[in-house]
C-alpha cells in the first residue's frame, strides 16, 4: 500500500484526505492519504521518519511550506517561489514542488481563460508568490499589489530576477493597475470567513477574469461584485482542486480523475 499525506499544524479541517482518497477509490489504487501534525521543531525528524517508513508523498501546509526547503531538493519553480507544498519521496533526497502555482494556472485553463496579457495579483504572501510565479511562467506580465508595499516590491524583484515582467504597487494603485488588465487574482486572506473585499467595487470591469484564492466561502464578496460588474469569475475551490490534482499526478504518474476529486471537494466546501 502507498501512503500519502499532509504535513501541517493544524491539519484537522483539511479537505485533502477525502479529495485524494476519492481518486484512489476511483482508480482502484492501493493507497491511503493521512494527516500528520508534528510540532514545528520536529519537522526535520518527521520528514526523515516519513522517508524511512516509505511514505510515498506528502503535501505540506502552514506552518511548514518555507521551512521544508531545508530538507528537500526543490524544483526550480518552487525554489524561486521559496515554498514547497508537495514532497516526492521516490528520490534521494526527496524533491519538492509548489503545486499551488501550477494549480492556479490549471484552474484558469479549466475555465478556458486565455493565459496572456497583464494580470494583477493582490497579495504577496505564500499564495501571492505562488500564483505570481505560476502566471509569469505562462508569459503573463504581473502587477503585484499588496498592502505592505515592501513585500510587493520584493516579490516583483524576484520575478524580474527570474526574467519575468513584473511591477509592484500599493492597494491605492488598484484602480490604475486594473484598468487595462485582463486577469485579477486575489491572494490575500481578505474575504475569508468575512464579507470583505480587498478590491473596491468600482475598479472591477467586464473585461476581467477574476479568480479568488479564498475558498471559504466559495462565493466571496469580491467574486459577487465581479460577477455583477460583468466579469468572469473563478472561485478558490478550483485552485484548491488543481493543486491536489497536480500533486496526485506527480506522485502516481497517472492522469487524475479530476471530476471525482472535484465532487469530493465540492460537497465539503
Ligand atoms: P499569507 O502568506 O499570510 O499572506 C496573506 C496576504 O494577505 C498578504 O499579502 C497580506 O498583506 C494580505 N492581507 C492580510 N490581511 C489584509 C488586509 N486586511 N488588507 C489587505 N491585505 C491583507 O497567506 P497565504 O498563505 O498567502 O493565503 C492567503 C489566502 O489564500 C488564504 O485565504 C488562503 O486560504 C488562500 N489560499 C488558497 C489556496 C487554494 O488552493 N485555493 C492556496 C493557498 C492559499 P501584507 O503583506 O500587507 O500583510
CATH number at residue 27: 3.40.50.10860
Non-local (6+) Cβ contacts of 224 within 8 A are none
Question: In which region does residue 95 sit, left (phi positive, over 0), alpha (psi from -120 to 50) or beta (all else)?
Answer: beta
CA distance 188 to 168: 15
The rounded Å distance from CA 180 to ligand 1 centre is 24
Q: Do 83 and 137 sit in the same domain of this protein?
A: no
pLDDT of residue 54: 97
Question: Residue 46's Cα: distance from chain center in Å?
Answer: 23
pLDDT of residue 101: 97
CA distance 143 to 212: 16
Name the closest-CA residue to atom 29, ligand 1.
189
Q: Do 87 and 113 sit in the same domain of this protein?
A: no
Domain range for 59 is: 2-97+239-266
pLDDT of residue 151: 98
Q: Do 78 and 147 sit in the same domain of this protein?
A: no
| pLDDT tens-place string over residues 68-86 | 999 999 999 999 999 999 9
**Mutational test site, ligand 1, from 123, 197, 215, 239, max ligand atoms within 8 Å of CB:** 123
How far apart, in Å, do the first and last CA atoms of the chain sit? 29
Q: Which of 22, 43, 65, 101 is catalytic?
A: 65
Domain count, the chain: 2
Nearest atom of ligand 1 to the alpha carbon of 126: 26
CA distance 249 to 256: 6
Q: Do 88 and 116 sit in the same domain of this protein?
A: no
Q: Do 57 and 88 sit in the same domain of this protein?
A: yes
| pLDDT tens-place string over residues 92-126 | 999 999 999 999 999 999 999 999 999 999 999 99
Q: Do 148 and 176 sit in the same domain of this protein?
A: yes
Q: Do 167 and 185 sit in the same domain of this protein?
A: yes
Q: Do 244 and 220 sit in the same domain of this protein?
A: no
Q: Do 121 and 210 sit in the same domain of this protein?
A: yes
Q: Do 202 and 115 sit in the same domain of this protein?
A: yes
Q: Do 139 and 110 sit in the same domain of this protein?
A: yes
Nearest atom of ligand 1 to the alpha carbon of 243: 40
Bridge partners (DSSP) listed for residue 7: 36, 60
**Rg for the chain (alpha carbons), in Å?**
18
Q: Do 214 and 122 sit in the same domain of this protein?
A: yes
CA distance 194 to 202: 20
Residue 65: active-site member: yes
Sheet holding 209-212, edge to edge: 166-169, 141-145, 118-122, 183-186, 209-212, 232-234
What's the average model confidence in pLDDT over 29-40? 97
CATH number at residue 192: 3.40.50.720
| pLDDT tens-place string over residues 152-196 | 999 999 999 999 999 999 999 999 999 999 999 999 999 999 999
Amino acid at each position: 500500500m502507498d501512503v500519502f499525506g499532509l504535513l501541517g499544524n493544524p491539519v484537522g479541517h483539511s479537505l485533502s484526505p477525502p479529495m485524494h482518497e476519492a481518486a484512489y477509490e476511483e482508480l482502484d489504487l492501493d493507497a491511503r492519504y493521512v494527516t500528520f501534525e508534528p510540532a514545528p521543531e520536529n519537522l526535520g525528524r518527521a520528514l526523515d521518519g516519513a522517508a524511512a517508513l516509505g511514505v510515498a508523498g506528502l503535501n505540506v501546509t502552514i506552518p511548514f511550506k518555507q521551512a521544508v526547503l531545508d530538507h528537500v531538493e526543490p524544483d526550480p519553480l518552487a525554489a524561486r517561489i521559496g515554498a514547497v507544498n508537495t514532497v516526492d519521496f521516490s528520490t534521494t533526497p526527496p524533491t519538492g514542488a509548489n503545486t499551488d502555482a501550477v494549480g492556479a494556472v490549471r484552474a484558469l485553463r479549466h475555465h478556458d481563460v486565455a493565459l496572456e496579457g497583464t494580470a494583477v495579483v493582490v497579495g504577496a504572501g505564500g499564495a501571492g508568490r505562488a500564483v505570481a510565479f505560476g502566471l509569469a511562467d505562462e508569459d503573463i506580465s504581473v502587477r503585484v499589489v499588496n498592502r505592505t508595499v515592501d513585500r510587493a516590491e520584493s516579490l516583483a524583484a524576484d520575478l524580474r530576477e527570474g526574467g519575468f515582467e513584473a511591477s509592484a504597487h500599493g492597494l491605492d494603485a488598484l484602480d490604475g493597475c486594473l484598468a487595462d488588465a485582463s486577469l485579477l487574482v486575489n491572494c490575500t486572506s481578505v474575504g475569508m470567513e468575512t464579507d470583505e473585499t480587498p478590491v473596491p467595487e468600482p475598479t472591477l470591469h467586464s473585461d476581467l477574469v477574476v479568480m479568488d484564492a479564498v475558498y471559504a466561502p466559495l462565493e466571496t464578496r469580491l467574486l459577487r461584485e465581479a460577477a455583477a460588474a460583468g466579469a468572469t469569475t473563478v472561485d478558490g475551490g478550483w485552485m484548491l482542486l488543481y493543486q491536489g490534482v497536480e500533486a496526485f499526478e506527480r506522485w502516481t504518474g497517472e492522469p487524475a480523475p479530476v471530476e471525482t476529486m472535484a465532487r469530493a471537494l465540492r460537497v465539503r466546501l
